[in-house]
Amino acid sequence: MRFPNLRYGNPTAFAHYAMGIPLADLARTLRRDERTVRDWLSAKQRVPWWVPEYMRLRQMEQAEIRRQMNMPAIGAKLGVVRGTVIELAVRRPKKKPQITDLRLDDFDPVVSTG
């Protein structure tokens, strides 16, 4: 689907395809500076038309390669967590301090003889 302005790309589509990819990797993939990619993602600068198209085609190509190699599709990096994955930690009971009748003399290593 084309963005109404043919000169610039859809920033929402770019953000969708860039989701879950670290900024450094995304900048290296697009062969642009990290600051430029950060500005595109934060909408400080307009996204060139080829950026969302490249990301879309790249995703389609990777899916086709996985299909041809009979590999299962990679799950979304951000998604709904299923109940089988969640393991709730068992809360440990609070330890109550032990009351002792120890005296300081019991810990004194010097034995007085007299």
What pLDDT digit, counting tens, does each position of 25-41 carry?
Answer: 999 999 999 999 999 99
Bridge partners of residue 11, in order along the sequence: none
What pTM value is reported for the model?
0.59
Q: In the chain, where are the structural domains located?
A: 11-68
Summarised one tens digit per residue, pLDDT across range 81-110 is 666 655 666 777 888 877 776 665 556 566
Angle between helices 34-41 and 23-30 (to 10 degrees): 110
Residue showing tokens 């900048």:
27
